[in-house]
Amino acid sequence: MSYGFNPDDIELPNYHFIGGQKVVGGGAEIAFHRPSDGRQVATFLSADAATVDRAASDAQKAFESSGWAQAAPSERAAVLKVWADLIDRDRIRLAQLEATSTTRPVLDMINRDLVRGAGAVRYFAEWADKVEGQYLAGRAGTTTLVRPEPYGVVGSIAPFNFPAINAIWKSAPALAVGNAVVLKPSELTPYSAVAIAELALEAGLPAGLFNVVLGAGETGSLLVRHPYVRKITFTGSSATGGRVMSDAALSGPKPVTLELGGKTPQLVLRDVDDLDMVAGHVAAGLTANAGQICTAGTRLIVPQEFEAPLLDRVIALAAEKVAAATWDEACTLPPIISERQAARIDAMLAETVSDGAEIVIGGSRVASRNEGAFYQPTILRNVPDSSVGFTGEFFGPVMSVYSYDDEAKGIAMANHPTYALAASVYTNDLRKANSLSQTLNAGTVWINTHGRQPDFSTPQGGFTGSGFGKEMGRAGLESFLRFKTIWQNHG
């Protein structure tokens, strides 16, 4: 069966979704450009203060009056399971909408993103009736209880990469434990969040519990600062994460979960005997979603004697990638999200090269594509630690390679001074792998693999400049709960 399609046939939901209704209105007009061909095909109105207030107020009313938080957990779980079934039912439609308006290829959406999205909804549905409080032993005549409760209204801000998955990850666990949600997707990829929220309403979620407001940074700031919003979850750049923290502190304060940037090392040790395996993971870490992944493997650290043979393998695998529109089944190298972001990558590369770095392959746009911002897989060598190529996040298909003669030096290079989101280690020595998993400064450490697995029970999130707090797993669920202590005196 062919899944390619004409993007001009796809209707874009150019509206906010508030209180279970389509809302057209707000502030400034934002032009939407399709990433794969750069064409402006729509406009929408950014949510202004009045629109954000309406969404937050509707969410608060629904939280207070719908009975969702007080419902039996099994009832909430039942609604979420229907929601997951509807995502499965509409998988083709959602995949085509996402492939039209984002960097996600249609086949990846059908076979991966939406399968995992529906799976995540089912995972958190199963958690709904397993949230536990505590009974604490005390002196005679007293009882102490610790009771988990939802915050109320959760403000969620999602990034432009993997929009559908992020919309689900930032709403399903919050809803499972009784919260209401106001979600702001990226202004670059606004549409799948609206469609997913509409399916939640169809599944039986009370109107007003899942709202979507479209807009850019000011809309996000209005959402974070709104007095009804009691908890924030944000995924995006470290710089924007800092502004989110500031807004939350000055308007609450209110708790924040942040998943921010990364400079993930892929550390290869000398005892590895399967360079083909390593090359497969390294190439995927370079090219997946055109490098627009916060855990992209952007720093390859390898023994000197392995550098040439490993790079030969990685370069050959990268050359197989096909730059094509995301609605084309052949696409295995999607576009950069926007011309502005591609120009940013160009500028960072130029500055890094002027500082002394050498381009091994790539370093420019894909010459055969004269529409969309497609970028060649790029490998750099001799990147100075003081250069923006080391200190900054390209968020494109750019990887720097570093060789070492002494293993201790290679291990030391793996820790970055700013970012600590994830790390990959390739070794045949499991004792060494276990030791490194403890010493590496990273929120996630992969051994002999790279990239997030389709396992919803594993929490993820970074340290230091890569953020704090966790998504997914039990920890991700509990991040949407506050814990109340109750003292009872029977004396």
Active site annotation includes 254: no
Q: Is the pLDDT of residue 491 over 80?
A: no
Same domain, 65 and 154: yes
- Give me the mean pLDDT over the 318-331 stretch: 97
Task: Judge if 471 and 348 occupy the same domain.
Answer: no
Q: Higher model confidence: residue 454 or residue 286?
A: 286
Residues 235 and 316 in one domain: no
On whether both 171 and 234 belong to a single domain, the answer is yes
Strands 481-489 and 142-150: antiparallel
279 and 400 assigned to the same domain: yes
Residue 347 falls inside a structural domain: yes
Can you tell me the mean pLDDT for 434-460? 93
Return the sign of the alpha-carbon dihedral for residues 87, 90, 95, 97. Answer: negative
111: pLDDT strictly greater than 80: yes
| Residue 203 · residue 30 · CB < 8 Å | no
For the chain, what is the mean pLDDT?
96
Q: What is the pLDDT of residue 140?
A: 83
Which residues on neighbouring strands pair with residue 146, listed in sequence order?
Answer: 134, 485
* 98 is known as an active-site residue: no
Give the pLDDT confidence of 232-252 residue by residue, as tens digits.
Answer: 999 999 999 999 999 999 998
- 303 forms beta bridges with 404
User: What backbone torsions phi and psi does residue 382 show, to the nearest 5 degrees?
Assistant: 60, 45
pLDDT tens digit sequence for 353-397: 999 999 999 999 998 887 899 999 999 999 999 999 999 999 999
CA distances to 21, 273, 408, 436, 450 from 429, in Å: 57, 11, 15, 11, 17
Q: Are residues 187 and 296 in the same domain?
A: no
Backbone angles phi, psi at 288, to 5 degrees: -55, 130
Residues 6+ apart with CB under 8 A from 325: 7, 36, 37, 331, 335, 372
Catalytic residue among 187, 198, 393, 471: 471
Taking Cα atoms as reference points, which of 229, 243, 239, 119 lies closest to residue 182? 229
Mean pLDDT to the nearest integer, 404-424? 96
The identity of residue 491, as a single letter, is: G
- Which backbone phi and psi does 311 adopt, to 5 degrees? -65, -35
φ, ψ of residue 225 to 5 degrees: the values are -85, -10
Of how many residues is the chain composed? 491
Same structural domain, 184 and 275: no
Based on the fold, state whether residues 99 and 243 are members of the same structural domain: yes
* 426 in a structural domain: yes
- Asked if pLDDT for residue 67 goes beyond 80, the answer is yes
| 449 and 344 fall within a common domain | yes
Catalytic residue, chosen from 184, 231, 294, 470, is 294
pLDDT over 70 for what percent of the chain?
100
CATH (domain of 329) = 3.40.309.10
305 annotated active-site: no
Mean pLDDT of 15-27: 95
Give me the mean pLDDT over the 132-159 stretch: 92
| 110: nearest Cα among 126, 132, 87 | 87
**Whole-number Cα distances in Å, 65 to 56, 207, 428, 484:** 14, 11, 57, 21
- Count: domains in the chain: 2
CB atoms within 10 A of CB 309: 12
Residue of 187, 259, 331, 393 with catalytic role = 259
- Give the pair of three-digit tokens for residue 338: 């926007």
Note whether 301 and 245 are same-domain residues.
Answer: no
Tell me the torsion sign for CA atoms 375, 348, 300, 165: negative
Q: Note if 259 is an active site residue.
A: yes
Question: What is d(CA 335, CA 319) in angstroms, rounded to the nearest whole number?
Answer: 16
Token couple for 149: 């409760």
Cα separation, 19 vs 207, in Å, equals: 5
Report the alpha-carbon distance of residue 293 to residue 336 in Å, rounded. Answer: 11
Q: How far apart are CA 213 and CA 391, in angstroms?
A: 33
Question: How do residues 277-312 score in pLDDT, each as one tens digit?
Answer: 999 999 999 999 999 999 999 999 999 999 999 999
Q: Which of 170, 263, 321, 470 is catalytic?
A: 170
Instruction: Give whole-number Cα distances, 344 to 159, 242, 337, in Å.
Output: 17, 20, 11
Look at residue 311 and tell me if it is in a domain: yes
Question: Do 398 and 432 lie in a common domain?
Answer: yes
The predicted pLDDT at position 454 comes to: 81
Q: Is the pLDDT of residue 1 over 80?
A: no
Q: What is the pLDDT of residue 138?
A: 78
pLDDT given at position 45 = 96
What is the DSSP pairing of strand 463-464 with strand 419-420? antiparallel
Give yes or no for a contact between 362 and 376, defined as CB atoms under 8 angstroms apart. Answer: yes
Same domain, 398 and 425: yes
Q: Residue 184: which CATH number? A: 3.40.605.10
Look at residue 327 and tell me if it is in a domain.
yes
What pLDDT is attached to residue 455? 85
DSSP helix/strand/coil, 43 = strand
- pLDDT at 319 exceeding the cut of 90: yes
Do the domain assignments include residue 194? yes
Domain with 383 in it: 265-456
Q: Does residue 101 lie in a domain region?
A: yes
Lowest mean pLDDT among 136-140, 321-325, 369-373, 393-397: 136-140
Give percent of the chain with pLDDT exceeding 90: 94
21 located within any domain:
yes
